[in-house]
Amino acid sequence: MIPVRKSYITRALWALAGVSLLLAGCVRVPQNSLSVYQRSMVVETRNTETAILEKARLEVLEGPWSRPVKVLHLRGTPYEMGFQHGKLLAEDIRTCVNHVIGQVRRFASEDAMDEAYDLMAHYIPLEEKEEMRGLAHGAGVPLRVIHWFHAIPEVSEYRYKKRFSWRYKQTSCSNLIAFGKATADGRPYQLRVLDWNRELGVQRWPVILVHAPDRGNASVTLSYAGFIGCVSGMNDQRMAFGEMGYGNPEGETLEGIPFVFLFRKMMREASTLSQATDILKAATRTCSYVFAISDAKARDRDKALLFVVDRERVRIFGENAELVDERDGERFPAVEHVVYAGARPMVLHREIVRHYGKISPAVLMEIPKSVSLSGNMQNVVFAPGTLSIWVSNASNATRDEAGKASNQPYLHFSFRKALGLKAVGRQVSY
Residues 179 and 132 in one domain: no
Picking from 163, 189, 211, the residue at the C-terminal end of a domain is 163
Give a yes or no: residue 180 inside a domain: yes
Residue 284 is predicted with a pLDDT of 97
Residue 109 is predicted with a pLDDT of 81
Strand order from edge to edge, sheet including 289-295? 57-61, 69-76, 206-213, 219-224, 233-235, 239-245, 289-295, 304-309, 314-317
Provide CB contacts within 8 A for 181, sequence distance 6+: 336, 337, 356, 357
Total domains in the chain come to 2
Confidence of residue 422 (pLDDT cuts 50, 70, 90): low
Picking from 163, 182, 197, the residue at the C-terminal end of a domain is 163
What's the mean pLDDT when you consider all of the chain? 88
Give a yes or no: residue 56 inside a domain: yes
Residue 269 DSSP symbol: H
Give a yes or no: residue 214 inside a domain: yes
* Cα Rg of the chain, angstroms: 20
Handedness of CA 252, 254, 257, 261 (dihedral sign): positive
Give a yes or no: residue 140 inside a domain: yes
Residue 178, classed as helix, strand or coil, is: strand
HEC assignment per residue over 340-353: EEECCHHHHHHHHH
* C-alpha to C-alpha distance for 389 and 294, rounded to whole angstroms: 14
pLDDT tens-place string over residues 136-155: 999 999 999 999 999 998 88
pLDDT tens-place string over residues 315-345: 999 999 999 988 888 999 999 999 999 989 9
Give a yes or no: residue 393 inside a domain: yes
Check pLDDT > 50 for residue 18: no
* C-alpha to C-alpha distance for 410 and 380, rounded to whole angstroms: 9
Give a yes or no: residue 48 inside a domain: yes
pLDDT tens-place string over residues 350-369: 999 999 999 999 999 999 99
Confidence of residue 15 (pLDDT cuts 50, 70, 90): very low
pLDDT tens-place string over residues 232-288: 999 999 999 999 988 777 888 999 999 999 999 999 999 999 999 999 999 999 999
Residue 65 is predicted with a pLDDT of 83
- Residue 423 vs residue 48, higher pLDDT: 48
pTM for the full predicted model: 0.89
Residue 324 is predicted with a pLDDT of 92
Check pLDDT > 50 for residue 23: no
